[in-house]
Structure 1
Amino acid sequence: MLTDLILNSPLIATTNEAENAPIVLAGVLLSLVVIYLASKIGGELSRSIDLPPVLGELLGGVVVGASALHLVMFSESGAAATDSNIMTILQLINNITPAAVTSIFQSQSEIISMLAELGVIILLFEIGLESDLKELTKVGYQAAVVACIGVAVPFAAGTAGLIWLFHAPVIPAIFAGAALTATSIGITSKVLAELGQLKSAEGQIIVGAAVIDDILGIIVLAVVASLAKTGEIDILNVIYLIVSATAFLVGSILLGKYFNSGFVGIANKLQTRGNLIIPALIFAFLMAFLANAIHLEAILGAFAAGLVLDETDKRKELDEQVKPIADILVPVFFVTVGAKVDLGVLNPLVPENRAGLIIATFLIVVAIIGKIITGWAVFGKPGINRLAVGAGMIPRGEVGLVFAGIGAASGTLDKPLEAAIITMVILTTFLAPPLLRFAFKQPPAEKETLEKANLIS
């Protein structure tokens, strides 16, 4: 008893953490070596067969993650220290107790997760810089329509289908329907940038819709999470999210008109290295913090910061300076998304997976059709590539995994339904990049016709 009290005391815990710090660092460094190798090899192989490199990064993550090599593993995804081969390597090198291994594994996976979060923040900041605020505001109402339909149709069809066809209880069916509403803005925007379509009419509609979709997704998640916990919807929380999200985005756009000259003036006065990039990152991280503080996604704040700075005279110079930072951090995000995916849920030989796979087939059909039809919701844009708009809304990515994780943690989802949602997230995430590439590949005659139509409009 006395021994337990001594070993569990804060002083001893702090001492152990200090002693383990070098081993945690070693685990992080080894994880980054694996992540960068997976990212570069996957990206190069993907490009060699004319597919977007981001797909290769995601697949590289799958190979080194929970589905295959068990090198990049995460405690928040339910993995134990004994599941991680990097932890096994560290145990061979160092004399570590089982308790210390668990602590080291948790610390290491948290650090890699934080680096991944920084990666997606930088990615969305870069996408904001590469977007055109004026063009984005021109398609704002169309993007809003696409987003609303892309949320409403999958949610209604998924929820109703699960209740009527599979006799699922109402609250789990609502939760699964809510998971269908998500769109991964990070994955879609990266593919658009790689295809050179980010500033096209389709690209601007997709990005605008994905941003709005993310906000709607947060609101839907708040509703279903409160419904799962209490059986009631917290109306005040929903109203707060709607008002705060609207105020944040509108305020950010208005801020750009007054912020630009001051930002350029500050950058010109600074004489040391980083006179442009450091003030820009301060602004991006501050906006991400403010978004997070009002219970929105930090990536929305980073995207808004990029849009604001896109209007400055220093945009091109800033864009070039952000790229090396993005090259370091963004691959961590995409490989991490792939690494957290466990393809074991797709194995039909496991009896408990079979029910989930049947439900997953239904969810995948709804997930794809529910987003593809959004392309036909675009109006006032003759010659628009409607298939590309719909395809750009398909990937659920890390957003869909968040829904599945919260649903499982709350006890709302049973194993088959949880497996079905994860399967849907996996396939829509990997299907979207090649489908976008296909959608933007048009015959020369058709492309010329579309360009003429756009000129006339």
Structure 2
Amino acid sequence: MLQFLSSALGWPPILAETIEIIESPEASTLILVSVLLGLVVVYLASKLGGELCVRVNLPPVLGELLGGVLVGTSVLRLLVFPSSGAGAEDVVLLNFLQQISGAPDNWMPTIFATQSEVISVLSEIGVIILLFEIGLESNLDELLKVGTKAAIVAVVGVAAPFAAGTLGLIYLFHIATIPAVFAGAALTATSIGITAKVLSELGRLNSPEGQIIIGAAIIDDILGIIVLAVVSSLAKTGEIRPSNIVILIVSSTAFLVGAIFIGRWLNPFFVNLVSSMQTRGEVLVVALVAAILAGLIAQFVRLEAILGAFAVGLILAETEKGEELKEQVKPLADVLVPIFFVVVGAKTDLSVLNPADPVNRAGLIIAGFLLVVAVLGKVITGFSLVGSSTPLNRLAIGVGMIPRGEVGLVFAGVGASSGILSESLNAGVIVMVIMTTFLAPPLLRLAFRGEPTTAVEPGS
């Protein structure tokens, strides 16, 4: 059928060949096998890395990231993605699969692209489930109480690194204004997924510091999206359109406020609906449908789907089904969430850290500057909460805002694909993202050392 449509619509020959391969039963089987083998690698990497980190008193999420690096593009190359510039012939797992199956060479690019896409999609679903679970574990009333503090932390955490990074790149490194602005914008991000997971593992999610960090990270995400839209517009047109900024701010605020108030109003409907159902898994399935729909609405208003999932988890945690839902979502999170962290690690290219390559040297010098700004620009956020009557671990708040993770990689990816960032500047941004992502979990544990735990770790 697809082949007929290809001929009828006059699609390019390469597309027709791809369709022909996908329609082949043998190729379809190999695609399925490649995905399954890829998932085996993901789970082995996540468990091996997680177990090793637990035994040396580090957060398991750091082990999942390191496990991803081990099996990814930087080391073993068992799990590689096209975004790294690699081809099917560079993937050890696919070479092994081709050897034992005898698949023709022209099948491998299609198998590689399909496997990568499937695992990437599962990774995105994983982070949605993660934020849904984090929402369930959070306390909406406590989060609202720290709203002002979270807003202060978020604004300082965006403004300080953005200003310092941009001005430093212009006046110290003599980089043109638009690339400097774009690199400075990459410094504003905070990876809510990584921070929230570490806080949950440390039993700090419902502490005052944890709630401020999560609230600030959410606001940070919104501000980061606005900054990304602004600098992208600047790069494409050479001018910033105020109307776009206003639309983004209004839509972001309306979504979060609306989600909380409408969600609370609909809570009784959710409880009555699942209570009247007689099929298995009704609580979890209905909750996931709500989380997915909220994510789609968030995407529609140009926000991230993870914010919609987090909002739904936050709201449903208040219902009488909240505790039951927390228990039901854990096995699902155990299956899907590690994919996200391993994929982030697998996509990390450590070759940009090699000083022996002359191409990397300028990037490493810039990276050193960006890393200092990235760390200090977030650490000071905790100390911006002057006059607070509540005793707070201000260092922990600042450290919790450090990781850039996948959010920072989005900035780097957009900058590189649009040609805004030079090779050295792009390498500097990537190194900054890598280092902040891996530094934050152990630093956060150190910042909380010696303080009593305020919540139970998930799965305990």
Q: Which residue of 1 aligns with 2:34?
A: 27
TM-score by length of 2: 0.94
1:393 matches 2:398:
no
1:30-429 equivalence runs, <5 A: 30-379=37-386, 380-429=388-437
CA deviation after TM superposition for structure 1 residue 369, in Å: 0.2
In 2, the alpha carbon distance for the partners of 1:14 and 1:140 equals 51
* CA distances 1:265-311 after superposition (whole Å, capped 9, x unpaired): 01100001011111011101111111112111010110011111011
SS, match of residue 383 in structure 2: helix
Contact 1:6 1:12 (C-alpha < 8 Å) held by counterparts: no
Contact 2:21 2:110 (C-alpha < 8 Å) held by counterparts: no
SS, match of residue 276 in structure 1: helix
In 2, the alpha carbon distance for the partners of 1:377 and 1:133 equals 23
Q: Which residue of 1 aligns with 2:19?
A: 14
CA deviation after TM superposition for structure 1 residue 7, in Å: 8.7
Contact 1:144 1:212 (C-alpha < 8 Å) held by counterparts: yes
* CA distances 1:90-127 after superposition (whole Å, capped 9, x unpaired): 21123333332111111110110000000000000000
1:432 matches 2:440:
yes
**Of 5-14 and 27-36, the range deviating more from structure 2:** 5-14
Contact 1:256 1:311 (C-alpha < 8 Å) held by counterparts: no
In 2, the alpha carbon distance for the partners of 1:91 and 1:152 equals 51
Q: Which residue of 1 aligns with 2:457?
A: none
Counterpart of 1:110 in structure 2: which amino acid?
E
Counterpart of 2:252 in structure 1: which amino acid?
A
CA deviation after TM superposition for structure 1 residue 10, in Å: 6.4
* CA distances 1:102-161 after superposition (whole Å, capped 9, x unpaired): 111111101100000000000000000000000000000110110000000000000000
In 1, the alpha carbon distance for the partners of 2:75 and 2:17 equals 37
When residues 9 and 64 of structure 1 are mapped into structure 2, their CA distance, relative to the original with a 3 A threshold, is: closer
Identity of aligned residues (%): 61
In 2, the alpha carbon distance for the partners of 1:43 and 1:261 equals 39
In 2, the alpha carbon distance for the partners of 1:357 and 1:15 equals 45
When residues 422 and 12 of structure 1 are mapped into structure 2, their CA distance, relative to the original with a 3 A threshold, is: closer
SS, match of residue 438 in structure 1: helix
Gaps of 5+ in 2: 1-6, 455-460
Counterpart of 2:282 in structure 1: which amino acid?
N
**Of 379-388 and 141-150, the range deviating more from structure 2:** 379-388
In 2, the alpha carbon distance for the partners of 1:12 and 1:167 equals 48
TM-score by length of 1: 0.94
In 2, the alpha carbon distance for the partners of 1:122 and 1:336 equals 15
CA deviation after TM superposition for structure 1 residue 12, in Å: 5.4
When residues 177 and 96 of structure 1 are mapped into structure 2, their CA distance, relative to the original with a 3 A threshold, is: same
Could you list the runs of 4 or more consecutive aligned residues of structure 1 that deviate by over 4 angstroms after TM superposition? 9-13
Counterpart of 2:123 in structure 1: which amino acid?
A
SS, match of residue 79 in structure 2: coil
Aligned residues: 443
Counterpart of 1:271 in structure 2: which amino acid?
Q
CA deviation after TM superposition for structure 1 residue 15, in Å: 3.0
In 1, the alpha carbon distance for the partners of 2:178 and 2:87 equals 30
When residues 10 and 394 of structure 1 are mapped into structure 2, their CA distance, relative to the original with a 3 A threshold, is: closer
In 2, the alpha carbon distance for the partners of 1:335 and 1:46 equals 14
Q: Which residue of 2 aligns with 1:452?
A: none
CA deviation after TM superposition for structure 1 residue 89, in Å: 1.4
When residues 432 and 10 of structure 1 are mapped into structure 2, their CA distance, relative to the original with a 3 A threshold, is: closer
SS, match of residue 312 in structure 1: coil
SS, match of residue 377 in structure 1: coil
In 2, the alpha carbon distance for the partners of 1:163 and 1:363 equals 13
SS, match of residue 277 in structure 1: helix
Root-mean-square deviation (CA), in Å? 1.7
CA deviation after TM superposition for structure 1 residue 16, in Å: 1.9
Contact 2:18 2:110 (C-alpha < 8 Å) held by counterparts: no
